[in-house]
Every structure is written in C-alpha cells, then in structure tokens.
Amino acid sequence: MKKLLALTAVLPAPALAATGPFFSLHNTNFIVLLAFLLFIAVLFYFKVPGMLGGMLDKRAETIQAELDEAKALREEAQTLLASYERKQKEVAAQADRIVAEAKREAEAAATQAKEDLKTSIARRLQAAEDQIASAEANAVREVRDRAVSIAIAAAADVVAAKTSAADQNGLIDDAIAQVQAKLH
C-alpha cells in the first residue's frame, strides 16, 4: 500500500497540472481522482469501514458499560450514604437516649442516696438515743444499787450498834428459817 501511494505521489508533477483533456493520464486532477478511488477500493477490499465501525461499536459498548457501571456505583454510593446517614441518626438518637437514661439513673441514685442518708441518720439518732437511755437506766440502777448498799450498810451499823450478840444470832436464825420456808 505504501508503494502504491508513493507511485501515485511521483506520477503527477506540478508542471502538468490541469492541462489537456480530463480523462487523460497527463491530467493531475484525473490522476488524483483515480488514486482516491483506488484508495477507497482498497479500504473496502480490506473491509476497513467494517473494522472501523466494529471498533467504534466496541468502543461505544465499552463506554456504555463504563457508564452503566458508574451509574450502578453511584446508586450504590447513594444507598451507602443514605444507610450511613440513617445509622448516624440512629446512633445519635441512641446516644441521646443513653444520656437521658443516665441522667434519670443519676437523679434516682441521688434521691435514693438522700433517702438512705436520712434513714442512716435516723438509725444513728435512734441508736444514740437508745445508748443514752441505756446509760441513763444503768446510771439510775447504779445509783439505786449504791443507795441500797449504803442503806443496808447504815442499817447494819445501826442494828449492830443497838442489838446485842444474842439478839443478832436470833435474827440470823429467824432469817434462815424464813429462807428455808420460802425456798421449800
């Protein structure tokens, strides 16, 4: 093909341009027309237009496939974006619920702590009052016991001073008899 083009390029000379009859090999316009028709014939012989059409169709199919893929990827990306936005809203709502629940639990814990503190204070006050009452009762008992023992000691001293040894032995015998009578 290169040889044919080189041959057609050498044949017409600029000096011979447009001289003589049109259908003559000396007319450059006719030679150019023949070369052009020969070129077109060679193209059709080797099925170049079909190949070019096939290549263009193939390229168009590739472009269409890429466009379809891009469209599908775009739709998938939009779906993922919507999904992530929905998940973000759900997470934000869940975080708000968790914060609200924590506040409620903190308030309930504070209320419970106040009630427990009041109960503890009341229990300690009651325990302190019980200890005071017990100490008071012990003090009264000790004072009575001490007063009784002092009274007994004083009575023993008075009785010992006013009674003789024989009277004391009689009183002891009477006390023993009374104890035996009451125990049996």
Give the residue-averaged pLDDT of 106-113. Answer: 94
Of residues 118 and 154, the one with the higher pLDDT is 118
Confidence of residue 14 (pLDDT cuts 50, 70, 90): very low
Confidence of residue 156 (pLDDT cuts 50, 70, 90): confident
- In this predicted structure, which of 12-16, 146-150, 173-177 has the lowest mean pLDDT? 12-16
Q: Is the pLDDT of residue 16 over 70?
A: no
Say how far apart CA 31 and CA 11 lie, in whole Å. 8
Say how far apart CA 94 and CA 87 lie, in whole Å. 10
Are 17 and 28 within 8 A, CB to CB?
yes
Question: pLDDT (tens digit, 9 = 90+) per residue, 59-71?
Answer: 999 999 999 999 9
Residues sharing a CB contact under 8 Å with residue 22, sequence separation 6 or more, in sequence order: 29, 30
- Supply the DSSP symbol for 13: -
Of residues 83 and 182, the one with the higher pLDDT is 83
Residue 165 pLDDT: 76
Question: pLDDT (tens digit, 9 = 90+) per residue, 120-149?
Answer: 999 999 999 999 999 888 888 888 888 888
Cα dihedral 68, 73, 79, 85 sign: negative
Give the residue-averaged pLDDT of 7-33. Answer: 67
Residues sharing a CB contact under 8 Å with residue 19, sequence separation 6 or more, in sequence order: 26, 27
Of residues 109 and 184, the one with the higher pLDDT is 109
Are 35 and 8 within 8 A, CB to CB?
yes
User: Any idea where the domains of the chain sit in the sequence?
Assistant: 1-46, 52-134
Say how far apart CA 108 and CA 60 lie, in whole Å. 70
Q: Is the pLDDT of residue 12 over 50?
A: no
CB count within 10 Å of CB 27 equals 18
- Supply the DSSP symbol for 16: G
Q: Is the pLDDT of residue 7 over 50?
A: no
